[in-house]
Amino acid sequence: MHADPGDPSAQPTGRAAGRPLAGLATVVTGASSGIGRAIALAFAGAGADVLVSYRANENGARDTAARAAALGVRALVARLDLADPADIERFAAEAWERLGRVDVWVNNAGADILTGSGAQLSDREKLDRVLAVDLRGTVLCSWAAVERMRAARGGVILNTSWDHAVLGMAGRNPEIYAAAKGGILSFSKSLARTVAPTVRVNVLAPGFIATAFEGVADEGWRRFVEEITPLGRWGTPEDVAQVAVFLASPAAGFLTGAVIPVNGGVV
């Protein structure tokens, strides 16, 4: 039996306030850039070993791993195609084999339909991609992880939704994202009940975060976001990452099925 990372009475020897995840083995999907990279680096800074996944941006993932390793932890890289159910099972088996165990699994990766080639897809193609990658990918990764975590008697799953999934936003792209991210939110709440008390499942719900989309938004839209945000700015990937560290740590040991909006108060 290995320790539940959310159980303060079972903390690995040497875990200190400044390294709340010391001794934990973690997986972060989609960690080649943006929020995933920030989470992987925050986990490494908190003392956790990390396995980062990528689909196409191998160089970005290796850069994330190199930065994490420089913080004094073990950092590994593996490819994962979330649209391929067989590859998800292969990746989960690889994660446990290479890390020895996984204490925290973060489902961060998602399909980009707002920038680059993704923005040129038809509405139907965008819907198919987001449902396959974001929703089905999260469900299958969660099932693969919790099956192994329950056998090992402990673990934490963090899934990524969207703050507007609970409020709504006009527009075709928001409709598509809401279909997937709302599903992730509801699925996670049910999964949390299924796997408690052995595994904790919580949800990150970022709002307007300064990632690739913010970089291509026009000046008027960027100002609009600042104006509607009570805290007066776009969020950063690091804002989300620090909440992820908290949810993975013993400090959140009595939280499961929770949805944490990281959005400056917009929703």
Active site residue 54: no
Q: How far apart are CA 120 and CA 265, in angstroms?
A: 31
Q: Pick the catalytic residue from 43, 54, 96, 177.
A: 177
Closest CA to 250 of 51, 1, 10: 10
Query: Considering just the CA atoms, what is the radius of gyration of the chain in Å?
Result: 17
The residues annotated as belonging to the active site are 177
